[in-house]
Structure 1
Amino acid sequence: MTVLLVLGLLALGLLLTVPMFVVLAGTSFVTFWLTSPIPLSILPQRVFAGIESFALLAIPFFIFAANIMGRGGLSARLINFMQTLVGHLPGGLGITVVLTCVMFGSITGSSASTIVAVGTILYPALVQAGYSERFAIGVVTASALIGMIVPPSNAMIVYGSVANVSIGALFMSGIGASLVFTTIYCGYCVAWATANGVPRTKRATFRQVVDATLDVVWGIGMPVIILGGIYGGVFTATEAAAVSVIYAAFVCCIVYRQLDLKGLWDVAVESALASARILIMVAAAKLFSWLLTISGVAAAVAEPLTAMRDDPNMLLALVNVITLGSGMFIDVFSNILIIVPVILATVMGAGISGTHLGIIMVVNADIGNVTPPFGLNLFVASGTFNRSYGSVVLAVLPWLGLALIALAIITYIPEISLWLPRQLYPQVQ
């Protein structure tokens, strides 16, 4: 009965397009009310316990710092910097999009905001330079995914808090995984531009490169400070997030001078709302995950996985299928919070590193952002580029195929993601 009720309410919530946190929390409350002797007064306690974590405190800080840098004129500087470096190459403007999304993502950690910040500037430039509208939409929307894989990543923070895995090691694993995506996407840009005869632009002069570098150096200093501080043992990931806010405010208000106190207040309010949307989702998803555990659903789902312990490759393939499938319907954080507690013990029992599982889960959940029917970034791109949902889906499909190739490489060549973490964290297997 519990299984049917859970599935029925989830399906109803999806059909009625009710916010996912309402679906998850409502499903949990109704299920306990109808089927469990547990007092309902315990459930609010479980909701608050779901976000009572020092690691999760990093999320609002990183969001605040990212929004400050986004409003402070960083995106235009990053685009100019990347274009002076690679704009003259075959497919140079497409490569500029990919690399800018990587750099912007390393500061914002958000794929949706990357689409808006980068797409509004480079989409018209791509079309004007001879790229098709479909290619322009696809490269921006798909490349924005890398923003949640390259560190610092809020999705990795959530996974680390659930799986009790070092967030610093997860950040390091994201560097290797993001390089896989970047290489594949840049290669496709070169191949597409060459096949379609897109003209190359003039190489930037040495002086232009120097000026662009000096203009952006303060902005790209933030991820250097964050990662350097974490791996240098100066502060934890959460403390690094707080430091990043101070640094971002200094750069945008004092150095760039594109953000005043009123603008900073507006960014603070916007960041608080964004943090609340994420954390209420985390709280509801953790409550729902608890429901799955005590009702026996988690054990039932894990049973076929347990039978594959002797074949790690098949086990990881099934994990990919499950996570990609759920990512078509639910958001990144819910995907991680619901599935990880169900599969973690089985996967690690098969000898698979928790850090490796983490990057696989984050990449899978992130790909869900561009997977129909409910991929968030598809709707963001539709609004940003003023194109129909269907045209955005068609534009993203080739890139979705490339993303699945990158996922397969990350899944079955674990050294790509684990080599760097193992250099700094000997306990990573």
Structure 2
Amino acid sequence: MTSLLIVACLVCGLLISLPIFVVFAATAFITFGLTSEIPLSILPQRISAGLESFTLLAIPFFFLAAQIMSRGGLSDRLIAFVQTLVGHLPGGLGMTVVLTCMLFGSITGSSASTIVAVGTILVPALTKSGYSPQFAIGSVTCSALIGMLIPPSNAMIIYAAVANVSIGALFMSGIGAGLLFSFAYCAYCVGYAQIAGVPRSPRANLSQIIAAAREVVWGVGMPIVILGGVYGGVFTATEASVVAVFYAAFVGMVVYRQINLSDLWEICIDSGIASSRVLILVAAASLFSWLMSISGTTAAMAAPLRSFSGEPSLILLATNALLLVGGMVVDVYSNLLIMAPVILGPAGAAGINTTHLGVVMVVNVDIGNITPPFGLNLFVAAAAFGLPYFSIVRAVLPWLAISLVCLIVITYVPAIPMWLPERLYP
């Protein structure tokens, strides 16, 4: 009875287009009010408890660092640098999109901002160079996903908080997964350019490469500082987020000189709003997850998975199916927060490494950003490029197929994402 009421509240909330955090919180309050003797005054305490995590403290600081770097002139410099390296190769401009999105996303951690910052510059350049508009839109919309895999990744931070696993090991697994996606996307760019007969750009000379590298070195240095500090034992991942803010502010205000104190104030406000959107969702989803747990819904959902306890491959297959379907209707963080407690128990019983499971889950929810009907990147791209929604959907379909192939490889060839963490965290 309780599970049916939970489902009914969820469906009704989604059908009338309520914000997802309102749906989660309202479902919990209605269900507890009608079926439980637990005082409703406990529920706000549970909401607050969902945010009482030192790990989650990294999210607002990484958001702030990302906003500073995004508005500090990094995107133009990254594009110019990557273009000097691969622009002359077959599909060079397409590969420039993929690699720029990978680097820019690894610094900003936001696929939406990557689409806007990189796409507004490179989509017109792609179409002018002979690529079809559909290819140009699809390349930017989908390449922006890679930034959620390359550390630092907010989705991985949330999984680490839920599953109580090492953020450092998760970050390292994301590098292998991100590089696989980048390689697959670049291979598609090469094949497309050769079939479509897209002309190559002139090769950059050594002096041009050095000049572009000098311009971008401070920007790409932020992930190096963060990861070097974390894996060198200088600071934790949460402390690294604070270091990232000071580093980004120094680069944007002193080195690039494209933001000032008044800009910094506006950036703080914008990043505060962006952080609050994520954290209020985390809080509401934490309450909803607690409801599912004490009502027995989580155990009921996990029961079919437990029947596969001797078959890790089947549990991983079911994990992919559940998260991909969930990604069609809910956002990245909701998908991760709700499904992680359901999957962790059966996966642990089957002997699946929780770090490997984490990168599989993050890749799944990341793909949800480009999965119709409610993929976030689809709507961001439609707004950024002024195109109809269904035009964006058609543009991402080939890239979505490549993403699913990469997901299968990451799921069933764990050596690819786990090579680095197994050496750094034996």
- SS of the equivalent of 1:174 reads helix
Tell me the CA shift for residue 25 of structure 1: 0.7
Q: Which position in structure 2 is the counterpart of 1:369? A: 369
- SS of the equivalent of 2:200 reads coil
Q: Which position in structure 1 is the counterpart of 2:380? A: 380
Q: Distance in 1 between matches of 2:15 and 2:370?
A: 19
Q: Distance in 2 between matches of 1:366 and 1:9?
A: 26
Letter in 2 for 1:342: V
Q: Distance in 2 between matches of 1:17 and 1:117?
A: 29
The superposition leaves residues 41-79 of structure 1 with CA deviations (integer Å, 9 ceiling, x where unpaired) of 000000000011000000000000000000000000000
Tell me the CA shift for residue 212 of structure 1: 0.2
Q: Which position in structure 2 is the counterpart of 1:271? A: 271
Structure-1-length-normalised TM-score: 0.99
Q: Which position in structure 2 is the counterpart of 1:284? A: 284
Matched, 1:225 2:210: no
Letter in 2 for 1:34: L
Q: Which position in structure 2 is the counterpart of 1:12? A: 12
Q: Distance in 1 between matches of 2:342 and 2:318?
A: 13
Letter in 2 for 1:179: L
Q: Which position in structure 1 is the counterpart of 2:240? A: 240
Q: Which position in structure 2 is the counterpart of 1:131? A: 131
Letter in 2 for 1:9: C
RMSD: 0.6
Q: Distance in 1 between matches of 2:370 and 2:18?
A: 20
Q: Which position in structure 1 is the counterpart of 2:407? A: 407
Letter in 2 for 1:42: I
Q: How is 1:13-92 mapped onto 2 (pairs within 5 angstroms)?
A: 13-92=13-92
Deviates more, 1:228-237 or 1:8-17: 8-17
Q: How is 1:159-198 mapped onto 2 (pairs within 5 angstroms)?
A: 159-198=159-198
The superposition leaves residues 213-232 of structure 1 with CA deviations (integer Å, 9 ceiling, x where unpaired) of 00000000000000000000
Q: How is 1:133-148 mapped onto 2 (pairs within 5 angstroms)?
A: 133-148=133-148
Q: Distance in 2 between matches of 1:14 and 1:202?
A: 51
Q: Distance in 2 between matches of 1:35 and 1:113?
A: 43
Letter in 2 for 1:243: V
- SS of the equivalent of 1:55 reads coil
Letter in 1 for 2:308: M
Q: Distance in 2 between matches of 1:29 and 1:83?
A: 53
> Paired residues, what number?
426
Tell me the CA shift for residue 416 of structure 1: 0.8
Q: How is 1:339-378 mapped onto 2 (pairs within 5 angstroms)?
A: 339-378=339-378
Letter in 1 for 2:394: L
Matched, 1:298 2:302: no
Tell me the CA shift for residue 162 of structure 1: 0.3
The superposition leaves residues 328-385 of structure 1 with CA deviations (integer Å, 9 ceiling, x where unpaired) of 1111111111111111011011010000000001000000011011111100000011
- SS of the equivalent of 2:56 reads helix
Any gaps of 5 or more consecutive residues in structure 2?
none
Q: How is 1:108-127 mapped onto 2 (pairs within 5 angstroms)?
A: 108-127=108-127
Letter in 1 for 2:241: A
Tell me the CA shift for residue 423 of structure 1: 1.1
Letter in 2 for 1:180: L
Spell out structure 1 runs of 4+ moving beyond 6 A.
Answer: none
Q: Percent identity?
A: 64
Tell me the CA shift for residue 314 of structure 1: 1.1
Tell me the CA shift for residue 234 of structure 1: 0.2
Tell me the CA shift for residue 315 of structure 1: 1.0
Letter in 2 for 1:368: G
Q: Distance in 1 between matches of 2:402 and 2:210?
A: 34
The superposition leaves residues 253-306 of structure 1 with CA deviations (integer Å, 9 ceiling, x where unpaired) of 001000000000000000000000000000001110100000011011001100
Q: Distance in 1 between matches of 2:5 and 2:376?
A: 26
The superposition leaves residues 3-53 of structure 1 with CA deviations (integer Å, 9 ceiling, x where unpaired) of 222111211222222110001111111110111111100000000000110
Tell me the CA shift for residue 418 of structure 1: 1.0
Q: Distance in 2 between matches of 1:14 and 1:344?
A: 26
Matched, 1:392 2:374: no
